[in-house]
Structure 1
Amino acid sequence: MRLKSRGNYWVRGTIRSIFLLSLIISAGVNSARVVAQPETEQSLVAQHWVDSELQPSTLSRDEQLRELQWFINSSLPYQGMEIRVVSERILTHWYEANVLAKAFYELTGIKVVHELTGEDDVIQKLSAQIQTNQNLYDAYINDSDLIGTHFRSEQVVALSDFMANEGQAVTLPTLDLQDFMGIKFTTAPDGKLYQLPDQQFVNLYWYRHDWFSNVAYQRQFLAKYGYALGVPQNWQAYEDIADFFTNDIKEIDGKRVYGHMDYAKTDPSLGWRMSDAWLSMAGVGDVGLPNGLPVDEWGIRVENCRPVGASVSRGGALNGPAAVYAIDKFVSWLNLYAPPESSSLNFTQAGEWPGKGVIAQQIFWYTAFVADLTDPSLAVMNEDGTPKWRVAPSPVGKYWQKGMKSGYQDTGAWTLLKNTPLKRQQAAWLYAQFVVSKTVSLKKTLVGLTPIRHSDIQSDVMTKKAPYLGGLVEFYRSNAREVWTPTGTNVPDYPGLSRFWWQYISKIVEGTLSSQQALDQFATAVDKHLDMLSKRSSHPCAPKLNDKQPAQFWLQQNGSPKPVNLDEPKGKTLPFEEAINAWY
């Protein structure tokens, strides 16, 4: 998005800004208040950005200008600073780095180097700053999946404390924390807020609504399976539909089509494919929201906030029957129903496939791809700009129970580290709030389609946009946004434990180990890591391993880990309209 450069406004306005600062100080004005000021070069900059870029907004134009004036006033002590922040490489963060960082500089005089990189690299950089005690970046946008790590590490700034103390003067009066949909995901068991949500996207079921509406296909499916072709409610229905399109329909409009899409390259993104709640969809963990307790979707058991084990012998479920079922289905569907290339694709590469018009459904689809998949030139779009596809609630496996989380939601959130100098924390906090402020957030939502605010998703703008987004707006307006959740606080060291996922799952995909063998090794590795953490930390929620017991001892207890379920439920589907009503 090209914008005419207006950086000279800041240069020409510096003397006036210094004069404005003296007026504020002499008048004893609290920097957290927005007061009427004479029109300055900065106020002209604010008008330019509000009128040319930051529309639409849930705020009125005057409210936007008042909010931006607060940023202008509050940034005066930090003018001329350069700060560094880092985030993963998605469209939302591209917009921040290339458009919003420029606006922030022209308004405040604070230059932001907003670096984009892979998610795995963000975590490595954050870990490196903690381990070396060197201030590599002034703020990070990292997944709230690290919340269990952050509150136990004692290396991350508790934002609730910061806003009440050192950051009070630079905390936006109109920030409105309760307006953030994901605020509970970034709050730890100690009741403190550790991260500020910046973007959210979710894993949902994706399918070709036009193909599912084809009367001939409906008749053929009903005749073969005895129930209607529709949105699958369980894994058996998903499997039936995958088989139907791959092996019965085979070809549509001269193209080979497939009933399933996935990816399995030996790569960190294979780890996310599993840890992003695949096991919860199978039903591995316990009932509980936002994550199962005492056992979560990583199969880690927690007792009194202390992780006590991942293996069945310690009360965990990572190598239990439900986890084996989940991985077996993943590998089976990949081999039987997905394009042959799938096993060599990573997350990013696989994301391009639904747009090619050859995929009937995908059980595990990140809505971060919605913006890309609404390109009018794609085969999956109608001429009127509406999609031929829909997103709907993810089908669940046979171990799943009502009251469990149903899938994964990514919440990328602003994080400050304690070893960052205070003045740099404060300047970075100003930028973090700017890119999530109500002045900015609705426009940013329309660009990246990763909404964070209730007020934005409930706006008339999003009501008008809903028919063009295939069910995304309906999801975020429903209670489902509370049931699709990030990794929770049971995971005490996300950077250290997340690498195990792709290392062990890849052995199953490659055929060197069975699911049971690999998961046994995986669970043992997690237990060893938990034991190592317990010896390094005196935190009251640090891990403390349970003694080993025979597996049968735990499998006979209520809840997770769960014994083998030999039932094979019949496939169940619903029409799209009924399926999304389940969200409400």
Structure 2
Amino acid sequence: MKYLVKLSFATCALFALLATAITSQALAQTATADAWIEQFQPSSLSKDEQKREIDWFVRTAQPFKGMEIQVVSENIATHEYESKVLAKAFSELTGIKVTHDLINEGDVIEKLQTQMQSGENIYDAYINDSDLIGTHWRYQQVRNLSDWMAGEGKDVTNPDLDLDDFIGTSFTTGPDNKLYQLPDQQFANLYWFRHDWFTDSNNMADFKAKYGYELGVPVNWSAYEDIAEFFTGREIDGVKVYGHMDYGKKDPSLGWRFTDAWMSMAGMGDKGEPNGLPVDEWGIRVNENSQPTASCVARGGATNSPAAVYALEKYVEWLKKYAPPAAAGMDFSESGPVPAQGKIAQQIFWYTTFTPDMVKEGIAVMNDDGTPKWRMAPSPHGVYWQEGTKIGYQDAGSWTLMKSTPVDRAKAAWLYAQFVVSKTVDVKKSHIGLTFIRDSSINHLSFTERAAELGGLIEFYRSPARVRWSPTGTNIPDYPKLAQLWWQNIGDASSGEKTAQESLDALCLSQEKLLKRLQRAGVQGQYGPLLNEEKGAEYWFKQDGAPKAKITNQKPAPVTISYEELLKSWQ
């Protein structure tokens, strides 16, 4: 009996120790969660709601505790915050160790392409642009998230994810109405200009005297060209300024400069949202079954059409005439921060991802009161553009789960992906990177209070106009392979090795060669390429829509609008 008593005492002591340990662990977990919640302010959720959402992540992650996963994204401010702060928070809260690598966008695509081709699990999840939606839908090598969330991944899908709150899911949905990627960050390609210079009375009077109309936000390329000419070489506050900024280095980012909707801004493609149909902003035509049928005009494409040639010629002309000489040797990343140095009057093709660089205290383009000297607005359109045609590009870096990733690793990565886009953290993350994905964040009071400091960014994202800026659409059957062709051929024109027409003829033929290869391989099934027979340019110019015949007058009457009137139109 005495042994039973001793045993019972020992058992009770053991239970007491376990209870104490569990209680201590729970208290420590609560303290960790509370500490992180303080860092995740402001939020669209109350602190109690944040706590409940974090508790869900903690509970759901238990089977994966101790696992180490690797994810990858390009290197922009939003992803730096995720890699340095949110990955640490997630690891501390869940016990899943996350390595969030930051590499160049081209390298992200290369890694993803290698995983697609080899089946080797290089990364457990990717944040890659939704520009690959046509690739993912056709090859079926990524988990479509609609089925994942309803089936295999249901037990690790946040009940408070709230897909309806995301503003970019139309960009990551295939023609089969399945969601293939989950937006993590978005930024638009807009027009940037020095509002202080544009509203200076002397500049306004000089411009009106020279050109006969008001200096303002250019609505068309004719006005943009006049403004570029007016400011280039002008001295303002003792500084020689330039009327334009761009980049021209023969580098993968030169391809994005064009596939990111430059041709549609000129008016090359067909009408349609989010992308022109049947001819899109790459000049690739599809049939009613979403099969790519042409790139060259002779088959019904528009990549080498008069509108595309006009777009490329204007790019080369403006880069040479109105941009700083060093711009021709710069890539996307190098050119982005240049306007912040205070020598650029306007930029027609400016990504809002550079906004954080433009609002730093003490730089040349900021006032002492913390407001910007610059503003952003819709980019002007070219002579071939018609109402209803795509007007600009919006990047949507999105979470993508490959089928080659083992299920347990995919589930752990999916938890991390949902954490970094959760309402708990998204408002704070949006303040860091200014790359909005949720309506609840865009409309948060903290952004109403900050709007005056961001030069029109909040007004743009709160306006109905934002849906007219969209990523590459589903016409593109293999983004990694086709994108490589663009920068190499465009580079020949930007360097002067070829004329614009020669460069685009070579590009469209290269695209069709690749489309033929995909067609013969049959790797994309019923939605793969099926090229049209050649009928010649004149046949297609007589048809409705793109490709469009050459317009003789390529500099129609310039049109500008005051920034204040523009804002009213957004409301």
TM-score, length-scaled by structure 1? 0.93
Task: State the distance in 2 between where 1:491 and 1:336 align.
Answer: 33
Match of 1:262 in 2: 246
Q: 1:192 aligns with which of 172, 178, 191?
A: 178
Match of 2:533 in 1: 547
Q: 1:276 aligns with which of 260, 268, 288?
A: 260
1:130-168, Cα deviation, whole Å (9 max, x unpaired): 111110000000000000000101101000000000100
Give the 5 Å matches for 1:23-42: 39-42=26-29
Please state if 1:350 is matched with 2:308. no
Give the 5 Å matches for 1:316-331: 316-331=301-316
| Mapped contact 1:371–1:449 kept (Cα < 8 A) | yes
Task: State the distance in 2 between where 1:17 and 1:507 align.
Answer: 71
Q: 1:517 offset after TM fit, Å? A: 0.8
Moved more, 76-85 or 528-537: 528-537
Please state if 1:159 is matched with 2:145. yes
Could you say if the C-alpha distance between residues 335 and 538 of structure 1 is closer, same or farther in structure 2, counting changes exceeding 3 Å?
Answer: closer
Please state if 1:394 is matched with 2:371. no
Please state if 1:462 is matched with 2:451. no
SS at match of 1:224: helix
- RMSD of aligned C-alpha atoms? 1.5
Match of 1:132 in 2: 118
Give the 5 Å matches for 1:566-577: 566-567=552-553, 568-577=555-564
Task: State the distance in 2 between where 1:397 and 1:565 align.
Answer: 11
Please state if 1:287 is matched with 2:274. no
Please state if 1:104 is matched with 2:90. yes
1:287-333, Cα deviation, whole Å (9 max, x unpaired): 00000000000000010210101000110000000000000000000
Could you say if the C-alpha distance between residues 527 and 482 of structure 1 is closer, same or farther in structure 2, counting changes exceeding 3 Å?
Answer: same
Please state if 1:47 is matched with 2:34. yes
| Mapped contact 1:310–1:523 kept (Cα < 8 A) | yes
Q: 1:16 offset after TM fit, Å? A: 8.1
SS at match of 2:232: helix
Sequence identity percentage? 57
1:446-501, Cα deviation, whole Å (9 max, x unpaired): 00110110011011111011000000001100112100100000001000000111
| Mapped contact 1:17–1:76 kept (Cα < 8 A) | no
Q: 1:214 aligns with which of 194, 197, 200?
A: 200
Residue identity matched to 1:518: S
SS at match of 1:540: helix
Q: 1:84 aligns with which of 70, 90, 113?
A: 70
TM-score, length-scaled by structure 2? 0.95
| Mapped contact 2:186–2:436 kept (Cα < 8 A) | yes
| Mapped contact 1:393–1:580 kept (Cα < 8 A) | no
Moved more, 529-538 or 401-410: 529-538
Match of 1:422 in 2: 407
SS at match of 2:224: helix
Q: 1:506 aligns with which of 491, 495, 520?
A: 491
| Mapped contact 2:518–2:524 kept (Cα < 8 A) | no
1:153-205, Cα deviation, whole Å (9 max, x unpaired): 11010000000001001000100001001010000000000000000011100
Q: 2:363 aligns with which of 348, 354, 378?
A: 378
Give the 5 Å matches for 1:329-340: 329-340=314-325
SS at match of 1:308: strand
| Mapped contact 2:220–2:382 kept (Cα < 8 A) | yes
| Mapped contact 2:221–2:383 kept (Cα < 8 A) | yes
> Displaced runs of 4+ in structure 1, greater than 6 A?
15-20
Q: 1:59 aligns with which of 45, 61, 74?
A: 45
Please state if 1:177 is matched with 2:163. yes
Q: 1:581 offset after TM fit, Å? A: 3.4
Task: State the distance in 1 between where 2:209 and 2:20 align.
Answer: 75
Give the 5 Å matches for 1:399-548: 399-536=384-521, 537-548=523-534
Q: Which runs of 5+ in 1 are unaligned?
A: 1-14, 21-36
Could you say if the C-alpha distance between residues 578 and 281 of structure 1 is closer, same or farther in structure 2, counting changes exceeding 3 Å?
Answer: same
1:365-406, Cα deviation, whole Å (9 max, x unpaired): 011000011011201000010000000011000101101111
Task: State the distance in 2 between where 1:38 and 1:45 align.
Answer: 10
Match of 1:7 in 2: none
Task: State the distance in 2 between where 1:424 and 1:377 align.
Answer: 45
| Mapped contact 2:195–2:375 kept (Cα < 8 A) | yes
Q: 1:43 offset after TM fit, Å? A: 2.1
| Mapped contact 1:257–1:358 kept (Cα < 8 A) | yes
Task: State the distance in 2 between where 1:544 and 1:41 align.
Answer: 61
Q: Which runs of 5+ in 2 are unaligned?
A: 1-17
Residue identity matched to 1:160: S
Residue identity matched to 1:314: R
Could you say if the C-alpha distance between residues 17 and 178 of structure 1 is closer, same or farther in structure 2, counting changes exceeding 3 Å?
Answer: farther
Match of 2:549 in 1: 563
Match of 1:10 in 2: none
SS at match of 1:580: helix
Match of 2:9 in 1: none
Task: State the distance in 1 between where 2:157 and 2:185 align.
Answer: 19
Please state if 1:578 is matched with 2:557. no
